[in-house]
Chains A and B, each alone.
Chain A
Amino acid sequence: MTDQWVTFSRFGDAELVSLTGEIDLANAPEIGRAIVKRINQAGKVLIDLTTVSFLDSAGVRLLDALVGDLYEHGTPTRLVVGERGAARMTLQLCSFREDVLATDLDRAAADLQV
């Protein structure tokens, strides 16, 4: 059901969660469940938002909860957000923690190696 918005793969030794399209109040809870189900055993997590064309506060809430949980479990995590675009805008407007954001996948993966 959530395949159109979220897909899973590996990037190096990290679990890669790729989000795409519009993430809003209508689909965020469902997407959240799909992600949690998949990454609860992951050692490292990359969440790619570069092709997200819209992100609302429900989407921010989802990412906030995900990142919070992952850090609590000591799972290194990065969000990949383009330098511009809807997702970057929303996250910035919400003052999302900058330290988990990266502008491309390779950089994000490199961050996690440290």
Chain B
Amino acid sequence: MTQELRLPWDEDPDDLYEHAPCGYLTTLPDGTIVRVNQTFLTWTGYTRGELVGHRRFRDLLSSGGQIYHETHYAPLLRMQDEVHELAFDVVCADGRQLPTLVNSMLGRDESGQPRAIRTMIFNATERRQYEKELLHARNIAEASERRVRVLQQIVADLAAAPTEAEVAESVVRAPEAAFGAASSSIYLVDTERDLIVAVTSTDPTTGNWDDMPRSSARAVARVAERGDLHVVASLTEAKQHFPDLVESMRRSGRNTVVLLPLTTGPTDEHGGVVTLGVLAFSFKGEHKLTDGELRVVRLLGQQAGQALDRARLYDDARRREERSKFLAETTGALDEVHRLQPRIHRLLDRLVPEVADWAEVRLQVGAVPIEEPKGTPAPDTELLMKRVAKVAASGEPIFALEGDPLDCSVLPLTARGLVLGTLALRMAPDRRDAAGERVFLSDLADRAGLALENARLYEQERQIARTLQRSLLAGDLPSGDNRFAVETFYQAAGQDLEVGGDWYDAFLITVDKLAVVVGDVVGRGIDAATTMGQLRSAVRALASNEDGPARLIEGLDRFCERVESARMATVAYAEIDLTTGEIAYCCAGHLPPLLQEPAGSPEFLMHARSAPIGSRAGNLSRTEHRRRLSAGSRMLLYTDGLIERRSRSIDKGFEILAREYARRRDAPLQGLAAGLADTLVGKDHADDVCMLCLSLGTEERIERTIGADRMQIALLRADLRTWLVAHGVGAECRDAVLLACSEAVANAIEHGYRDDPFGMIDVVATVTDDAVEVRVTDRGTWRGPLGDVSRGRGLQLIRESMDQVLFDRSDGTTVTMRRRRGEDDQ
């Protein structure tokens, strides 16, 4: 009974052995199983009979386990007499493998020889599972860590990417590094054009890179609109939802495509999310993304979206900065030129091709409408005119929208609330369209309108000044008197300067007394032109038969007390007695007149000099100088623009003027001043040039030398005509002589000098009581009779119009022609 009264922990050793929570094996040193407990048999499904005396422990192990048994277990046991926690997979009766942990102890007899091995076997099924999970978890953690590293790198790159293009470049590399994708591409949303545009790809041979409308049915557009990640896991799925992907997936061997919207805005799910682009990446083979990967993918979408947003803002800021710089520079460039046409050209030069590939300014103010286009190709005229008319009438701009057949924006040019005209332009292909630039374009048009209006006002004032000056200068100069001839010349300053205050005048004080004057008022513009007019009138009013030049200049000094703007004007004034040929002159601060008498060198008239009109510090004692001039003398009055050049001294200027004047002593009076201006100052000069050349008396014999230039024939004819009139040659004879002389000179130019543009032609004419004789000489080459019909007609005219004609071809050609004076002669 006492045996019945065992305490719960007082166990039966046999039962404990058989049903211990682990397996027990006892084997011989060679491993043959000699004893096994029930627990082990239950786990493995073997019967005791199958094992005991029949199998070795190693026979129960997997093949890998048997090798391990050989290499580790047995040697360790023999050396240490025990081994612990060796992992073996035991092959069960049904072939299943049971993960176990094994401890063994080797028992020895008194002589130390191995006697038996006790082995304890723990079921390690759970533990292995756990270890496996542990390993798996570690793998996941490592993959996730790699992704995080990739993402971190991308985030760093994104932070440094200032433009959309660079953001796209950074993002497009991410899926390969982070998820092992085969390739990826970036699409950006262009909200202004309502398009989605492919911008970059790691493998441009895949996919469809055409721009698509945001409303497109294509997968990229759908995902962009939904704003949420979409995974196309297989071709079947693609066929079902996004047929547009099937073809490119098949072609490039992709089975999984991930479409990730790049978004910005609040991360919570309630709206406000804006899709700026789509990242598409694909895998070869069907690839299942883990939740962790998907989380990272979404994170990437947000990061990239934010970077894009930042880049866009940055782009906007930079564009704004560029625009304001452009506007500022344009205003500056327009300010540099004052006149209307140059300003319009400046504006167009700024716009084309930088902003627009075609632009046009139309101005409707002023007498003549202005229409200045630049660039190509010109748009449809009819459509443009309609739009221009609309804008001009409403004063409201019309911007070209997508698909506009005209493709031109038209903006009003306004100033002070008035529409002056329009600016039409077609944006350059690389610019954003006009609608996107409307603020910029409106700003540009505002500035241009103001600048052009100012130029127009300037132009108007300039025109008034010029008209005033012209009208004052154009006053009738005395002519028709054989005793003198006056030639004048005025050339306004180049470089768009305002009119100056230079003037000339010639008038008869009495029938026998001529006054000539050239002067220069300080300053430019309308004030100078007005003052010039007042001074000119003052000179005419003060000139009298009795007083003479010195008194007249004193009168001008007094005039300055009332007309302050006339102060410091310079004047060269001369009076000529036409009966005696005596002149009296006075120079108030003005350059000395230049005199050429028929014989001798030209001479500057250096007497009777004093300070400018109304000078406060200069010499105001006005004197005059008199001298007698012989018939045929020429006197030149001029302003400083003729000789003053920055590049040479005034002495040099005098020297050149004297030389050029002397060289032209035989040139026709008409055109003489223009020729001097041409040689001395050219066309582009910084000052006005004003000249008056007076020719005195009638030459008995006229001698002229002209260049082989057809333009000079008319000048020669003018001199000859004046001379013939002065000698009372009647109209019929005069016309005949002029015709014959012209033809002879034309002949010399066209025939004798046909290969020599620098040839010179001498013309000498003499008049007697009954005839006029003209001799025309060239040194050109005679080439036999003329085959040219028209020249033949010229020769015919010479012969027909003159009584005697003689050709001498011994040295060049000399034509001597003579005509009797007619009955209408005086």
List the interface of chain A (C-beta within 8 A of B). Answer: 22, 24-26, 54-58, 60-61, 84-86, 89-90, 93-94
Contact = CB atoms under 8 A, between A and B. Distances in A.
Contacts of B749: 25
A24 B713 CA distance: 8
A24 B745 CA distance: 11
Contact of A60 (B711, B713, B732, B793): B793
Contacts of A86: 735, 738-739
A57 B717 contact: no
Given A86-B735, A89-B736, A90-B739, A58 B746 contact: yes
Contact of A89 (B710, B717, B735, B794): B735
B746 A24 contact: yes
B815 to A, nearest CB: 14
- Interface-central residue, A24, A57, A84, A90, by most chain B CB under 10 Å: A57
Contacts of A94: 793, 796-797, 800
B801 interface: yes
Contacts of B738: 54, 86
Contacts of B597: none
A22 B717 contact: yes
Given A24-B717, A25-B710, A57-B791, 13 more contacts: A22-B714, A26-B711, A26-B713, A54-B739, A56-B743, A56-B746, A56-B794, A58-B746, A84-B731, A86-B735, A89-B732, A93-B739, A93-B797
A57 B743 contact: yes
Interface in B724-750: 731-732, 735-736, 738-739, 742-743, 746, 749-750
B739 A56 contact: yes
Contacts of B794: 56-57
B742 A54 contact: yes
B800 A93 contact: yes
Contact of B714 (A24, A55, A90): A24
Given A22-B717, A24-B742, A57 B790 contact: yes
A85 B736 CA distance: 10
29 contacts: A22-B714, A22-B717, A24-B710, A24-B714, A24-B742, A24-B746, A25-B710, A25-B713, A25-B750, A26-B710, A26-B713, A54-B739, A56-B739, A56-B742, A56-B743, A57-B746, A57-B791, A57-B794, A57-B796, A58-B746, A60-B793, A86-B735, A86-B739, A89-B739, A90-B739, A93-B739, A93-B796, A94-B796, A94-B800
Contacts of B717: 22, 24, 54
Contacts of A85: 735
A84 B735 CA distance: 11
A26 B715 CA distance: 11
A74 B546 CA distance: 70
Nearest to B711: A26
Contacts of B791: 57
Contacts of B713: 24-26
A55 B710 CA distance: 14
B19 to A, nearest CB: 129
Nearest to A93: B800
Interface string B787-825: 000110110110011000000000000000000000000
A93 to B, nearest CB: 4
Nearest to A60: B793
- Interface-central residue, B731, B793, B796, by most chain A CB under 10 Å: B793
A60 B736 CA distance: 15
A85 B746 CA distance: 21
A55 B732 CA distance: 14
A25 B746 contact: yes
B585 to A, nearest CB: 35
A61 B731 CA distance: 24
Q: Which 9 pairs, one residue from A and one from B, show the smallest C-beta to C-beta distance?
A: A57-B794, A26-B710, A93-B800, A57-B793, A25-B710, A86-B735, A25-B746, A61-B790, A26-B711
A60 B790 CA distance: 9
Contacts of B793: 57, 60-61, 94
A2 B243 CA distance: 73
A56 B797 CA distance: 8
- Interface-central residue, B710, B711, B717, B735, by most chain A CB under 10 Å: B735
Contacts of A22: 714, 717
A54 to B, nearest CB: 6
A57 B711 CA distance: 15
B801 A58 contact: no
A54 B738 CA distance: 8
Nearest to A23: B714
Contacts of A93: 739, 796-797, 800-801
A26 B684 CA distance: 25
A86 B717 CA distance: 13
A52 to B, nearest CB: 11
B782 to A, nearest CB: 19
A22 B793 CA distance: 18
A56 B737 CA distance: 12
Nearest to B745: A25
Interface string B520-548: 00000000000000000000000000000
Contacts of B750: 25
Contacts of B710: 24-26
A66 B800 CA distance: 24
Nearest to A90: B739
A98 B446 CA distance: 66
A61 B750 CA distance: 15
Interface in B604-659: none
A26 B714 contact: yes
Nearest to A89: B735
Interface string B691-717: 000000000000000000011011001
Contacts of B790: 57-58, 61
Nearest to B746: A25
A60 B800 CA distance: 15
Contacts of B714: 22, 24, 26
A54 B800 CA distance: 16
A107 B796 CA distance: 30
Contacts of B797: 56-57, 90, 93-94
A89 B794 CA distance: 14
A55 B794 CA distance: 11
A25 B732 CA distance: 21
Interface string B273-302: 000000000000000000000000000000
A22 B743 CA distance: 13
- Interface-central residue, A24, A25, A94, by most chain B CB under 10 Å: A25
Interface string B489-528: 0000000000000000000000000000000000000000
Contacts of A25: 710, 713, 742, 746, 749-750
A24 B732 CA distance: 19
Nearest to A61: B790
Contacts of B731: 84
Nearest to B791: A57
Contacts of B742: 24-25, 54, 56
A57 B743 CA distance: 7
A22 B714 CA distance: 8
Contacts of A89: 732, 735-736, 739, 801
A58 B738 CA distance: 14
B804 to A, nearest CB: 16
Nearest to A55: B739
A60 B793 CA distance: 9
Nearest to B793: A57
A26 B800 CA distance: 22
